[in-house]
Amino acid sequence: MPIIFIIAAVSLFLFYTNPQFQNLKANIDDQNKIVEANDKASKLRAVRQSLTDDRKKIEQSDVDKITKMLPDGVENVGLIIDIDNIASKYGMRIRNTKVNDGGSSSGKATAVAGPDAKKNGTISLSFSVASTYENFIAFLQDLESSQRLVDVTALTFTSNKEGRYEFSVTLQTYWLK
């Protein structure tokens, strides 16, 4: 009888208790992973709350200025309208507008292997205006102090007999990707 009990105990251990024990160990490992993931999620929630609190401290007018300076999208039309509004203060109208979304003022496209790691894109805009030299300098100063971030990359001019000049301007502006 004792041999039967020993065989039954070993069989019970091998076929029932041991598999249940292994399942329990796997469940404990899964539970530890869930607890770890929950801890990370709690830390991320705390960081998000901290960033949200910091964002609430920034005035909306300042956020609008930053968005105007470096917009989230290309906004070609808005850029042209802004420049035309500045030019109209000096009696000028922008003409011959050309937009190059490639960001290269020379128009040459370059191939890039792999993902683009740059966080901003560039737009090259060309236009011409007719004005006196003094008005054009004032226009450039207003363009320089405007909220939109622009770099003048090329400037050419021709004169006529009336004391007015035809200025061709190429500038580059930026946007967030």
Alpha-carbon gap, residue 17 to 15, rounded angstroms:
6
Task: Give me the pLDDT at residue 113, please.
Answer: 56
| Tokens found for residue 127 | 């236009």
* Tens digit of pLDDT at every position of the chain (177 positions): 889 989 998 888 888 888 888 888 888 988 999 999 999 999 999 999 999 999 888 888 887 777 777 677 677 788 888 888 888 898 888 888 888 876 444 444 455 555 656 677 788 889 998 888 888 899 989 888 887 888 888 999 888 777 788 899 999 888 777
Task: Give me the pLDDT at residue 112, please.
Answer: 55
Q: Which residue has the tokens 């004005």?
A: 131
Task: Give me the pLDDT at residue 83, please.
Answer: 87
What is the value of pTM for the model shown? Answer: 0.56
Task: Give me the pLDDT at residue 116, please.
Answer: 59
- The residues spanned by each domain of the chain are 2-57, 70-176
CATH superfamily placement of domain 70-176: Ribosomal protein S6/Translation elongation factor EF1B (3.30.70.60)
- Of 84, 79, 82, nearest to 95 by C-alpha is 84
Distances (CA, A) of 29 to 21, 22, 24, 35, 122: 13, 11, 9, 10, 50
